[in-house]
Amino acid sequence: MDRAGYLKWRSDLKKFHAETSGKILREVGYSEDTVRRVQELNLKLNLRSDPETQILEDGLCLVFLQYQFAGLAAKTAPEKMVTAVQKSWGKMSPAARAAALKLNYTEMEQRLLASALNSGTPPA
């Protein structure tokens, strides 16, 4: 999948989650205000200015770093991993970044993380 296809997939997935969560919440009797709020969170609206959306994004980025980073790094070129980490890092709050630095990383992950946060040059 090329970049444009990936971005479309991600956008479509956010819309799907927003629509699905709205449908489920309405079926079980939640108010339209709650439905709207959950959909805003699914769509990640106002990421930088909405504390709850930022917490959600922080959690997603930390899950990536703790549970998905190694598996993706094993099958992805180092330069792409550096870019992925940089993008995730850019979406994280200072508190989430501090938490990320406390996670246990393999030696390879440490090199990729250091590369992403320092020079951006993939490790050898």
DSSP, collapsed to helix, strand or coil, labels residue 28 as coil
Q: Containing domain of residue 90, as a range?
A: 53-119
User: Rounded to an integer, what distance in angstroms lies between the CA atom of residue 3 and that of residue 87?
Assistant: 14
Domain count, the chain: 2
Tens digits of pLDDT across the chain (124 residues): 788 998 899 999 999 999 999 999 999 999 999 999 999 999 999 988 999 999 999 999 999 999 999 999 999 999 999 999 999 999 999 999 999 999 999 999 999 999 999 975 656 5
* Helix pair angle (3-27, 32-43), 10° resolution: 160
Q: Encoding tokens for residue 3? A: 């970049």
The answer to whether residue 73 sits within a structural domain is yes
DSSP 65: I
Q: State whether 31 and 8 are in the same domain.
A: yes
Cβ atoms of 110 and 85 within 8 Å: the answer is no
The answer to whether residue 124 sits within a structural domain is no
- Note the pTM of the prediction, 2 decimals: 0.84
